[in-house]
Amino acid sequence: MRYRTGIGYDVHQFAEGRPLILGGITIPHDRGLVGHSDADVLSHAIADAVLGAIGQPDIGYWFPPTDASLEGISSLKILEKAAALVREAGGRIENIDSSLIAEEPRVMTHAPAMKTAIAAALGIAVTDVGIKATTNETMGFVGRGEGIAALASASVALPERA
């Protein structure tokens, strides 16, 4: 096997009247995130990391924001597609590591549920999903509480090239 690593980054702005969904879990908060899908910034970063590890385009290619049929789609479906593409390439996802960057809300109490949802969508063990959280120390748009950012890396094992 050969091992590949991908990285992902995503950011979404807060908005009133939307649920806050992170890692496939609805998190209690007074605002949610804006996006064509459910705006799950964590799942988007993870999906892009997985796709990058296998040399595929980002989630905007597979789930274009211009496609009205995808309005409000669960980002767990996006993770499922990324995992399916890995399997189609004959590979397997080895592990995910991720960081949420937000001033609020505090999310680590929800990390076990997020890890379970992400692992199920990717078809990997819960112990192969890492989630961390930090703030932006009140700097920039995240620091001003305008949105949430997420970073992720994915390690994927692929068959040797012929």
Nearest to 124 by CA among 156, 162, 99: 156
Confidence of residue 161 (pLDDT cuts 50, 70, 90): confident
- Residue ranges and CATH numbers for the domains of the chain are 2-158 (3.30.1330.50)
pTM of the model: 0.97
pLDDT over 70, % of the chain: 99
pLDDT reported for residue 146: 97
**Helix ranges (DSSP H) in 3-137:** 41-53, 59-62, 75-88, 111-122
Calculate the average pLDDT of the chain.
97
Lookup result for tokens 């274009």: 64
Rg (CA), the chain: 15
List residues bridging with 133 in a β-sheet: 100
